Amino acid sequence: MVFEHFALNVSKPVEMAEWYIKNCGMKLVRSMDEAPYTRFLADQSGRVVFEVYSNTKADIPDHKNHHPLEFHFALKVDDADAVKDKLIAAGAELFEDQKLEDGSHLVMLRDPFGVPLQLCQRANPMM
């Protein structure tokens, strides 16, 4: 099997997709201009895709009030401090900034929509 995508039911999928395209280098690969306003976004590698939509058939999770350990997604970065500063200037909020003993730097943010977003600058990259 190959991972295709993961999906989030959110209140503002169009705005959220635009923020990730503008600030995280995501690319729009498929969209729907009527409800549920689905947007599929690919990362810069083109290998990982996430979907955001607003579907009233299910509850929209309140990620802003849940601990990021319950759910977050993570982006590999070369300079966690620089990306952190850029995303905070674009409306993200800092949750936690950790420098690990192995030299890795992990930054947990909340995007402007409350979804936890982790920046991973790893001493020993997984990919």
Q: What is the pLDDT of residues 12-51, one digit of tens each?
A: 999 999 999 999 999 999 999 999 999 999 999 999 999 9
Same domain, 125 and 72: yes
Same domain, 51 and 77: no
Count of Cβ atoms closer than 10 Å to residue 21 Cβ: 14
In a domain, 92, yes or no: yes
Please give the single-letter amino acid code of residue 62.
D
Query: How many structural domains are present in the chain?
Result: 2
Residue range of the domain that includes 38: 1-55
Same domain, 44 and 72: no
Same domain, 51 and 69: no
Q: 64 by DSSP, 3-state: which?
A: helix
Confidence (pTM): 0.94
In a domain, 60, yes or no: no
Give me the CATH number covering residue 18. Answer: 3.10.180.10
In a domain, 42, yes or no: yes
Does the N-terminal peptide bond of residue 116 adopt cis geometry, omega within 30 degrees of 0? no
In a domain, 125, yes or no: yes
In the chain, the percentage of residues whose pLDDT exceeds 90 is 95
